[in-house]
Structure 1
């Protein structure tokens, strides 16, 4: 594997939706090399019974009964175990999710955590997902098939956004610093392989470098350079663990012409060399 696989929703469905119910005790249907991949779409999980675990960007996320979770496009993940869980799975194209909902899902620099639902909320989710599942299974040529799906998808994702918005400070979400932080994160994810300069990100956001630093320190506790390094190192670790690229190739993929400089940067951040990380993490 020369790079981390990217699963495209269009290869599975033309509707922009793939939804299924996994019964308690079901085994995964597909096996992948090292079990790791990215998706070009959102994933939503609703665990009704049992327990499950996913590895998401080197963090194990555990799910218990009545838990709700989503994975953003581009996050590297793989199953750890789901043979003792039952619930719902939905893969949804970004185009079906309104920008306001996406802002809730993406408005953080750290890994999102599962949301614990009440029994009443679980009942509502089951009803919406069951209806969405039934409509998705109908003839795609039936009248208003796509508009009806879109309406149900927006109802579901709106409910998810409403739940996850409760875990954030509403005033902070609407503040100018919060908006700048969100835009910076989006740019960082898009540009990390080609842009490493804090001043370049500030220019793309039409603010001064000092102001961008001030904003990020206020909203996250860390300056621009910290988050750039964090994202570079995370992407490097993904490629070291999940791909067969050598260190020189990884350095070039991440925009470093000098692979020895990249190796020094990696060791300074991770306290071990890239090859040591690959050997240690794959054991």
Structure 2
């Protein structure tokens, strides 16, 4: 797929029996290391079984299923057996702006099992994209590929929205939770207290917590802490910053407090997490 990403769109269908060794000179081997893409990535699993880790959470995919991975999400493939998969990657510039907006609201997402008729429809759309991608000499190849791939994205997006609550059907609790999550994503490095998010949303702290807990089963504090620790995990894995430097970057001048918070949320120290995930 990297050969085509200069144009901002890449799609391919690949089959392999097992994952290659980590040191094997193969693009699939690179997916075994935790990484991020600067694209929106979609995987349609047609055959086989895949174990994938996204933001340090483990998932298993069985056919037929689809997964959307946002550019900010750290992921890696941990196991695969007898796999056939169609993979699509698109940059922000090539995505329909309306679809991009909805994709931003989907994060985080999990692998989604597909009903037979839905799987068949997505397979047909993917097949069209693959055929267009092969037409290297076509004068309008990129434009046609962009339109075809956006159609595939729309079908995937519609499938996700069909199996979850659409915006038009959200309860007031869900709408407030959605607004809180948007604020959290923008301000988690500077805003740590539930009362501050309640103030941003013109709500009482108690009511915000009631809405979020009803919608998600977890408190506002839980979401704040876990979003901060997720970012800390990503920095621990991908950077060489010290734990103290990471704490400061995430808005904690009180380094011992940050260390205690990390241990409370993850069950291990930050240094232990770094050593475990870099082995």
> Does the pair score TM above 0.5?
yes
Q: Alignment length, in residue pairs?
A: 272
**Matched residues in 1 for 2:103 and 2:240: separation?**
35
Correspondence 1:94 to 2:92: yes
For structure 2, the residue ranges without an aligned partner over 5 or more in a row are 21-25
1:48 aligns with 2:40: no
For residue 80 of structure 1, what is the aligned residue in structure 2?
78
Q: CA, structure 1 residues 73+175, in 2 after alignment: closer, same or farther (shift >3 Å)?
A: farther
Using the TM superposition, give the Cα deviation of residue 34 of structure 1 relative to its aligned residue in structure 2, in angstroms: 7.3
Other-structure match for 1:4:
none
Unaligned segments of structure 1, at least 5 residues: 1-8
Residue 60 of structure 2 aligns to a residue in which SS? Answer: strand
**What displacement does 1:173 show?**
4.5
SS of residue matched to 2:27 = coil
Pair 234,204 (structure 1): closer, same or farther in 2 beyond 3 Å:
same
- Using a 3 Å threshold, how does the CA distance of structure 1 residues 41 and 205 change in structure 2: closer, same or farther? farther
RMSD: 3.2
Q: Distance in 1 between matches of 2:199 and 2:37?
A: 29
Deviations 1:7-32, CA, capped at 9 Å, x for gaps: xx999635432111112337551655
Matched, 1:188 2:184: yes
What CA deviation, in whole Å up to 9, does each residue of 1:74-107 have, x standing for no partner?
A: 1110121346311200112235144467536734
| Match among 60, 63, 79 for residue 61 of structure 2 | 63
Partner SS, residue 46 of structure 2: strand
Q: Does 1:133 align with 2:125?
A: no
Cα deviation code 1:172-192 (max 9, x no counterpart):
853333233223223323332
Residue number in structure 2 paired with 1:13: 5
Shift of residue 220 of structure 1?
A: 0.9
| 2:232 aligned partner | 236
> In 2, are the aligned partners of 1:105 and 1:161 still within 8 Å (CA)?
no
- C-alpha contact (below 8 Å) 1:47/1:87 kept by paired residues: yes
Question: TM-score w.r.t. structure 2 length?
Answer: 0.81
CA drift at 1:63: 1.4
State the 4+ residue runs in structure 1 displaced beyond 6 angstroms.
Answer: none
Query: Against the structure 1 CA distance between its residues 279 and 172, is the aligned structure 2 distance closer, same or farther, given a 3 Å change threshold?
Result: farther
Q: Is 1:123 equivalent to 2:109 in the alignment? A: no
Asked if 1:255 corresponds to 2:254, the answer is: no
Distance 2:134 2:164 in 1: 36
Q: Secondary structure at the match of 1:90?
A: strand
Alignment partner, residue 154 of structure 2 = 158
CA distance in 2, matches of 1:144, 1:87: 23
**Alignment-derived partner of residue 102 in structure 2:** 103
1:176 aligns with 2:172: yes
SS for the counterpart of 1:22 is: strand
Change (3 A) 1:193 1:33: farther
What TM-score comes out, normalization by structure 1 length? 0.80
- Cα distance in 2 for residues equivalent to 1:156 and 1:259: 46
More divergent stretch after superposition (81-90 vs 205-214): 205-214
